[in-house]
Structure 1
Amino acid sequence: MANILSLRLLNYFHLHSRKTKLKQQYLANRPSTNGYKQQDAGFSLIELIVVLLLVGILAAIAAPGWAAFVNRQRINKFNDAVFAALQEAQREAKNKKLSYSVSFRKNSTTQEVAIFPTKKSDGSNLPLAEISTWKPLGTDVGVSSDKFLLGTNLNSTTENTADSTVSYSLNASAKITFDYMGTLPNASLGTSGLQIVAAVPSSANPTSPSSVKRCVIVKTLLGSMVTAKDNNCS
């Protein structure tokens, strides 16, 4: 009985397979309505040209939006690196019970940051020339700093004092100093706080900032910080 059932199943599958092959052969050789075989159907040269033109037009429309999106993602990461540097300086000041500073400068096309004890072991201020902890800003988050402008509203002569405008001519004197408690007791924050601003360069003038900005703002004498963007950055 089992042998008979197996034989019938084999016959069934054999017939089904043969029918499938015959059907495929028929479809392959069946003429189409315009007189050509189905396997000869395809796209004409004009159709291909039209498709390529449409793809090119869509790419041209989408490219600026994609570039703006990429710039926003990168500048967000770059601003995160600025925020992390300020937090690290404040944390070191609290942990080591020492005055700590964070300084920013432009080295050729690269923006750099240094976090260091404000004073030497003998109690004198650490000269800018002796700062040895400079490193490129943004490498920790995979962003190249030469893609952006970095500026501050820090007064170059009076520590922890805010000017009314942001300057993008960075030098090592642009620094924020936290005391041993992580605060800024003698700071002059003005109306906008102490700001470190990152900006996408203007397409018309690469040395000037565009409207796309991100910033970290030290808002209070206790050293609290917030981030802001675009028009909220001076």
Structure 2
Amino acid sequence: MANILSLRLLNYFQLHSRKTKLKQQYLANRPFTNGYKQQDAGFSLIELIVVLLLVGILAAIAAPGWAAFVNRQRINKVNDAVFAALQEAQREAKIKKLSYSVSFRKNSTTQEVAIYRTDIGISTWKPLGTDVSVSSDKFLLGTNLNSTTENTADNVSYSLNPSAKITFDYMGTLPNASLGTSGLQIVVAVPSSANPTLASSIKRCVIVKTLLGSMVTAKDNNCN
């Protein structure tokens, strides 16, 4: 009986000893320190440089496309404001049975619009683009309206000096207008990156197409 007990105790201590040694070997060879691999702690300088280069390349590729998208959104909004101004003048002319005009001009700091009874004249100019949160320096405003003959189409100009005007009669029409081949145009353009006083190819416009005062919108090459 004593021999059996001694044998069991010996086996127990041998097993415990092996477990202890295995545990010590595992801890000694473990590739972790405080829960993290030493070889994976942080990033090397080369890895950071590679990541920064990739980010820079992607940004360079995406930036022009994003800028063009933003510019198109801006002039779309301003063109909508031009369309709304012309529609308002035409609507007021029909409702009140009086001639109404819409004038556009460029002063030293802003590009402006005025909607008014033709017989009374302009009382207030309003910066174009303010209502749609677009700054005046982000677009160019032009027309093909002749500066001396009312409701007459000419070549598109972005000077707006003097101001340009479209007038609707008491029925909301333009009975004596000379529309030419392209109609009366109000053009909104993105400034050229090379020369901000010149228009780029990105354009939007509102065109009064007929003597009845029907209007359409167009873009780019159709706004020249």
Unaligned residue ranges in structure 1 (runs of 5+): 117-130
Q: CA–CA distance in 1 between the matches of 2:61 and 2:219? A: 26
Does the 8 Å contact 1:28/1:37 carry over to 2?
no
Percent identity of equivalent pairs:
94
8 Å contact from structure 1 (residues 29, 38) kept in 2: no
Q: Aligned residue for 1:150?
A: 141
8 Å CA contact retained: 2:140, 2:199? yes
Q: Say whether residues 1:105 and 2:96 are aligned partners.
A: no
Offset at residue 57 of structure 1 (A): 1.6
C-alpha distance in 1, partners of 2:109/2:3? Answer: 84
Contact kept, 8 Å, 2:106 with 2:163, in 1: the verdict is no
* SS of equivalent to 1:203: coil
1 CA distance for matches of 2:61 and 2:11? 61
| Matches of 1:6 and 1:196, distance apart in 2 | 108
Residues 192-201 or 10-19, more deviating: 10-19
Give the 3 Å change call, closer, same or farther, for CA 94–40 of structure 1 in structure 2: same
CA distance in 2, matches of 1:27, 1:66: 54
Closer, same or farther: CA 71–5 of 1 in aligned 2, 3 Å: farther
SS at match of 2:174: coil
Shift of 1:163: 0.9
CA distance in 2 between partners of 1:6 and 1:101 (Å): 117
TM-fit CA distance, 1:109: 3.0
CA distance in 1, matches of 2:209, 2:24: 76
Offset, 1:26 = 9.8
* Length, aligned pairs only: 219
CA RMSD of aligned residues (A): 8.8
Alpha-carbon distance between aligned partners in 2 of 1:79 and 1:8, rounded to the nearest angstrom: 96
Cα displacement (A) at 1:198: 0.7
CA contact (8 A) 1:198 1:214 kept: yes
Q: Which runs of 4+ in 1 moved over 2 A?
A: 1-30, 32-42
User: Aligned to 2:39, what secondary structure does the other structure show?
Assistant: helix
Structure 1 residue 63 displacement after superposition: 1.0
1:215 aligns to what SS in structure 2? strand
In structure 2, how many angstroms separate the alpha carbons of the residues matched to 1:14 and 1:223?
A: 105
Who wins on radius of gyration, i.e. which is larger? Answer: 2
Change (3 A) 1:19 1:79: farther
Please give the TM-score of this superposition, normalised by the length of structure 1. Answer: 0.77
- Mark the CA change 1:21 to 1:205 in structure 2 (over 3 Å): closer, same or farther: farther
Q: Work out whether residues 104 and 172 of structure 1, in 8 Å CA contact, stay in contact via their aligned partners in 2.
A: no
> How far does the alpha carbon of each residue in 1:197-225 deviate from its partner, in whole angstroms, 9 at most, with x for none?
11111111111111111000000001000
Give CA-to-partner distance per residue, 1:43-85, whole Å, 9 cap, x none.
2121111111111121122111111110011010011111111
Are the equivalent residues in 2 in contact too, given 1:193–1:220 (CA < 8 A)? yes
Whole-angstrom distance in 1 between the partners of 2:27 and 2:191: 61
Q: Assess if the C-alpha contact under 8 Å between 2:147 and 2:162 holds in 1.
A: no
Label 1:40 to 1:229 Cα distance change in 2 as closer, same or farther (>3 A): closer
Instruction: Report the CA distance between 1:42 and its aligned residue.
Output: 3.2
- SS of residue paired to 1:184: coil
Q: CA deviation at 1:155?
A: 0.7
Q: Which residue in the other structure is 1:5 paired with?
A: 5
